Amino acid sequence: MAQLSGSAVVQLAFQHANIALDLSTPAYTLAMKSQKDFSNGTGDSQANDIWHDRRSLGASATETLDFFGGVTNAFGVVLSFTKIKGVFVVADSNNNAANNLEIGGNAATVCSLGFVATNDKFQLAPGGIFFVTNPIVGWTVSSTTDLLLMANDAGTNTISYDIAVWGVA
């Protein structure tokens, strides 16, 4: 039986300095880090499966990701998530600047991922990162709340993105 464990980590590290004065250069460092560990299971702060892929969308193309029976993990198992604990999407930095990746906006059987309304979307520019977690309870997934729409918002170029989704399946 497959076991899943791991961490979701976000870290910021910035140096900020002002113009040098006669006797000093005012500066400071910003360091922020948040880490959420997941153990194998189905409860709070647990997940038991993960799906990940590199995807491409042609000019003006859309695709609907089905998290209740429509994705397969690395071991060939078709996943029917009942809870999604996290989503990580990275738009390829080589995508054309005229093309953004849109995440969400499927009103039919939307997978909420924290979006307030069923038509809400997040627009991700080339090189952009979309990262959301709900580690305690997760977002509920069923046959009526399982679809995530991904779209290329321009009709000019193909775009690529990487995606990882983990939770309880």
Residue 126: count of CB within 10 angstroms of its CB: 18
Per-residue model confidence as pLDDT tens digits over 66-114: 999 999 999 999 999 999 999 999 999 999 999 999 999 776 667 888 8
pLDDT at 115: 82
Per-residue model confidence as pLDDT tens digits over 103-144: 997 766 678 888 878 788 999 999 999 999 999 999 999 988
Per-residue model confidence as pLDDT tens digits over 10-69: 999 999 988 877 888 889 899 999 999 999 999 999 999 999 999 999 999 999 999 999
Domains and CATH numbers, the chain: 41-168 (2.60.120)
pLDDT exceeds cutoff 90 at 6: yes
Type of residue at 118: T
Find out whether 38 and 8 touch, Cβ atoms under 8 Å. Answer: yes
pLDDT at 149: 92
pTM for the full predicted model: 0.92
Cα–Cα distance for residue pair 101/158, rounded to 1 Å: 10
Cα–Cα distance for residue pair 3/111, rounded to 1 Å: 25
| Residue 169 confidence class, pLDDT cut points 50, 70, 90 | very high
pLDDT at 107: 66
Helix ranges, the chain (H) = none
